[in-house]
Amino acid sequence: MKWLSNLRRSRSSIFVFLITVVIFVEIIVMSPQLLEKDAVDMADPAASLPLQEDSGNTVEQKMQGFHLVENDEREKGWELFGNEAVGRADGQWILKSVKVKFFSHNLPSYTVTGDVGEVDGKSKDMWIKGNATTASANGYSFKTDTVKYIANQKIMTSDDPVVMSGPSDNSGPGFHLTGEKLLVDMVKNKMSILEKIVASKSISGKQFHLTSGRADFSNRDQEASFSGNVIMKLGSTLVKAPVATFQYSNSKKLIERIILNNRVEFTDADKKGFCEELIFDLAENKMTMRGQPKVVQGEDEIKGHEIVFLDGGKKVKINKDSKK
């Protein structure tokens, strides 16, 4: 009977071995697809977006060609597109190759594109990451690594370095500008770069260079404003002032005037000037000083109610105060 017991044990061992082989083969054959999927998900740039970091939520649905429209008070708020979207149980959507169109009075105002994005289904806040580009309806383009849309404030923000390209005009390419920290206020239709501004452009055939602490741009009329220790060079003229405003002519498609305010100083060749307001009239090629203007050239000093440099500075006109 001992041989029978050994036979039973042998058959049991063979059975266990066969079961083990089957399970092992099943793991080898079937699991690579799951492992590959996990590897792709972990490598996906979307995995670094804020709402995914500590999320253990399961995927509810996945789709190709995602399109979502958000309406606000009977007006279209935004329209969202993505090549691929993954919906989670907590109401979050993760998208690839994302594009968002924001509307004002049912007209497009801003378009944002990026590699990946995430939408909070409850708050409607959005994060866009990777080659994020924010374009205004009037031709400004802002490039950052990431941008966040805060729905209840209707603003977009980014703490990243910013590269801006302004709309072209009859002088050629628009402003080229670098800085840090982007803020887009959709209610005011205003775009701002908040730190470390460096801007350049060709204006009226002269090279223009400017540095400042902040820059603001309008999505309505292309007017631009620079503030915070503005240092501007236009041709051979170097100007320092707290504020500089650029006024644009829609009819001429040109920057028409540059206005600098509050304790303005300028130098050009052998002369220096001081005033409260300095206006460059680019169309007429003249520069006007107002607010206790004074020009010093060598031992000579010029004062008046208003001092105007005509013909690019070749002529000077001094206007006295008519009240005196």
pTM (two decimals): 0.77
Report the pLDDT averaged over residues 89-112.
89
Rounded CA gap, 197 and 104, in Å? Answer: 28
Residue 257: C-alpha distances to residues 46, 54, 312 (Å): 45, 52, 14
Report the pLDDT averaged over residues 161-179.
92
Percent of the chain with pLDDT over 70: 80
Rounded CA gap, 276 and 291, in Å? Answer: 5
Q: Parse the chain into domains and list their residue ranges.
A: 1-43, 50-137, 167-324
> What is the Cα gyration radius of the chain?
32
Output 35 or 301, whichever has higher pLDDT: 301
| Per-residue pLDDT at 95 exceeds 50 | yes
pLDDT band of residue 46 (cuts 50, 70, 90) is very low
Q: Would you say 139 and 133 are in contact if contact means Cβ atoms under 8 Å apart? A: no
Residue 217, pLDDT score: 95
Residue 231, pLDDT score: 98
Q: DSSP 3-state assignment of 220? A: coil
pLDDT band of residue 222 (cuts 50, 70, 90) is confident
Rounded CA gap, 6 and 12, in Å? Answer: 10
Report the pLDDT averaged over residues 47-64.
56
Rounded CA gap, 120 and 122, in Å? Answer: 6
Q: Closest by alpha carbon to 199, among 140, 254, 112, 282?
A: 140
| Per-residue pLDDT at 53 exceeds 60 | no
Structure token pair of residue 4: 């029978």
Question: Under CATH, what is the fold of the domain 167-324?
Answer: lipopolysaccharide transport protein A fold (2.60.450)
β-pair partners for 101: 79, 111
The upper half-sphere exposure of residue 219, i.e. CA atoms within 13 Å in the direction of its Cβ, equals 24
pLDDT band of residue 36 (cuts 50, 70, 90) is very low
| Per-residue pLDDT at 265 exceeds 80 | yes
